[in-house]
Amino acid sequence: RLAHAHLLLRLERIAEADATLDLAEPPLRDADQATSLARLASLRAEVALAEGDLPRAHHHATIARAGLAELPIQAALVDLIAARIALAGGDASVARRLVHAASTPLEYAGIAPVLGDLHRLLGDCELTLGDAAAAYESFRRAVEEIERVRGTLQAERLRTAFLGDRLRAHEQLFLLALEREHGIEEAFTTAERARGRALLDSLAVDAQSTLAPAQRTPAEAALTREMEEHQAWLNWYYSQIGTGDEPTAHQRAELATHEQAFAALTVRLAVAGGPGSLLAPPATLAEVQPLLPDGTALVSYMIAGGDLHALVVTPNGEHACPRLAPATAIDDRVQRLHFQLNRALVARDDRRRARLLDDCRRELAGLHDVLLAPLARHIDLMDQLIVVPFGALHAVPFAALWDGERYQIEHRTVLTAPSASVLPALSARAGRLSDGTPLVVGVPDTQAPAMGREATAIAADLPRARLVLGDAATADRLLTESPGASLIHLACHGRFLPDLPRASGLRLADRWLSVGELHRLRTDAALITLSGCETGKSLVTRGDELVGLVRAMLAAGAGSLLVSLWMTHDEVTTATMSRFYGYLESGAARPDALRHAQLDTLASNPHPAFWAPFILIDHPQRRSHAATSRERNV
């Protein structure tokens, strides 16, 4: 129960943690467990601190410190709690002194999660005392320690629980890096560590861990088994402090051996598994920038300190645009936009079309003024934009942002990337994709009869396409036929369940195929298109990790992904998809093909609810002379 309460505190579920401690206390008192009661007092102090009751927090911390005085590491952990209490009370000097006193035994123990907490707290003290340089070094060390243990946690739920509020160290390092000369590169890397690591782990870990042993090469299987052994030991060691045990000198010596072995095995498994293998690190600016063709700008958003910030990367430079708006204001704007989009989709009165369009454009203009207008001098001359969203921005159709005269799509092509670190992985996939035949699946019903016509028309336009239609389009058939397909188009219903994101999925002929099951899918397809409703919506969890169809399809091996952000119109979607593949067959690159298809749809269906639901997740591509010539003519 004490361990459970500690976990609940990490997840900021304070009331539940307090209730769990209430249950734990009576049996501990009955058994006269002095050490456990002292640990319970330390947790009580953390609950009181979270509730803002500093006198009660100090009282419990004093009891805990006295009860754990003979256990130097446990006592040092209580000193960190006391430091947080002092800092909350406005006495940063006392807090810093307590942190320094705790650092000796904790550095000696070498437990990465604890060292991450220690240096994050020290950074807070230095920042409060006005020493930005010292704070920068402390947050930098905190991030390194957090990342050191984060990489050993293979299970997603363990990563989420471990992160808790620790990502605040990443936020502070990001902000301090922006203030330093030539600090954009570190800010970029920190942003990718804050959110790109979770997605990159999903690309690698989910693909690797869901492989049956028979599907792995003997070398990969042996390395994986050895890595799991070291991983299990490290997870056990890191948990000892949470259960109140003091590591022995022998265990501390073993720590370095296991960590070094784990790191070496990670590299060897990456070599054996190729691009996108297990625990691939986030990309750096130096790795991403060379991938950007001339005329392309990457805009990476980041929420830190409660505000939204942007980094603009072009082939020849990088620029910071800090403090665009409070994050809460962005959330409100995105909700208002989707309200307007839904209004247009359900409207039955044609007389309201102009009013509905004006209302939607007003919200799109508001988002444009916050998200792109401050970046204008860096992106105005660019003909291709790659957007890396953060938080609520994952639900924004950037191609539809309205500058008062035109939509973004009328200026340039717009791509989306869940993280900048995905781009090198997608670029690497482009060179090893299947040369098989296209797979087109259609599952029409009474609600969306056009899905059948959509699939039939697309299959007719794609050379050697395999068409799986109606009752034949079962879940097992899709899983069986996807390997080896050069392209996969799924014209079927999609659903997004924000309360049960892993139950989100695709409606096949016999049943729903959930996100969890889709992780079994294996493909080298250059493009996967999910033309149903809400196939691009994801639950955004701690660390900006996406849970939904996007993540599942990228983990499955898709070279690029075309998905929808909201409910789609059956007939309009059929026309848009037909145009998209028509442009592809005429030689257009995927970004250009989508742009031209959406511009065509815009001409006949001007409300963004109809032409703008689809986004393309793809690696940056050098644009053809034919595409730019056509745009000049348009």
DSSP-derived secondary structure letter, 89: T
Residues 402 and 444 in one domain: no
Percent of the chain, pLDDT > 70?
84
Residues in the chain: 634
Does residue 241 or residue 322 have the better pLDDT? 322
Same domain for 399 and 493, yes or no, is: no
Contact by Cβ (8 Å): 494, 449: no
Q: Which candidate, 341, 412, 355, places its Cα nearest to that of 608? A: 341
367 and 484, same domain (yes or no) = no
Residue 416, SS3 per DSSP: strand
Q: Which residue has the higher pLDDT, 367 or 427?
A: 367
Do both 316 and 369 map to the same domain? yes
Domain for residue 182, yes or no?
no
Find the domain containing 520 and state its range. Answer: 422-633
Asked whether residue 150 carries a pLDDT value surpassing 70, the answer given is no
496 and 379 housed in the same domain: no
Q: What is the CATH number of the domain that holds 605?
A: 3.40.50.1460
Output the CA torsion sign for 156, 157, 161, 165: positive
pLDDT tens track for 159-198: 555 565 678 899 999 999 999 988 999 999 999 988 755 4
Is 429 found in the same domain as 377? no
41-50, 346-355, 444-453, range with greatest mean pLDDT = 41-50
Number of domains in the chain: 2
pLDDT in tens, 294-339: 999 999 999 999 999 999 999 999 999 999 999 999 999 999 999 9
Answer with the one of 408, 436, 463 that is the final residue of a domain: 408
Instruction: Clarify whether residues 310 and 336 are in a common domain.
Output: yes
* Residue 388 resides in a domain: yes
Q: Is residue 365 part of a domain?
A: yes
Q: Are strands 505-507 and 527-530 parallel, antiparallel or unpaired?
A: unpaired
Phi, psi of 297 (to 5 degrees): -125, 135
The pLDDT > 90 percentage for the chain reads 56
pLDDT at residue 211 is higher than 80: no
479 plus 589 within the same structural domain: yes
List the structure tokens of 506: 């695709």
Compute CA distances 529 → 286, 367, 476, 525, 526, whole Å.
Answer: 31, 27, 18, 10, 10
Report helix, strand or coil for 487.
strand
Name the CA radius of gyration of the chain, rounded.
26
Do 390 and 482 sit in the same domain of this protein?
no
pLDDT band at 424 (very low <50, low <70, confident <90, very high): confident
- 301 and 448 both lie in a single domain: no
User: What are the DSSP calls for 100-127, one per residue?
Assistant: HHHHHHHHHHT-HHHHHHHHHHHHHHHH
**Among candidate residues 359, 379, 408, the one where a domain is terminated:** 408
**Least confident range of 228-232, 237-241, 301-305:** 237-241
Strand spans (E) along 330-486? 384-388, 413-416, 438-442, 466-469
- Sheet with 296-304: list strands edge to edge: 317-326, 307-314, 296-304, 384-388, 413-416, 614-617, 561-564, 527-530, 487-491, 438-442, 466-469
Q: What is the pLDDT of residue 633?
A: 42
Please indicate, yes or no, if residue 540 is contained in any of the structural domains: yes
What CA–CA distance (Å, rounded) separates 40 from 18?
10
Same domain, 529 and 399: no
Note the pLDDT tens digit of each residue in 216-227: 567 667 777 787
Q: Are residues 399 and 456 in the same domain?
A: no
350, 383, 408 - which closes a domain: 408
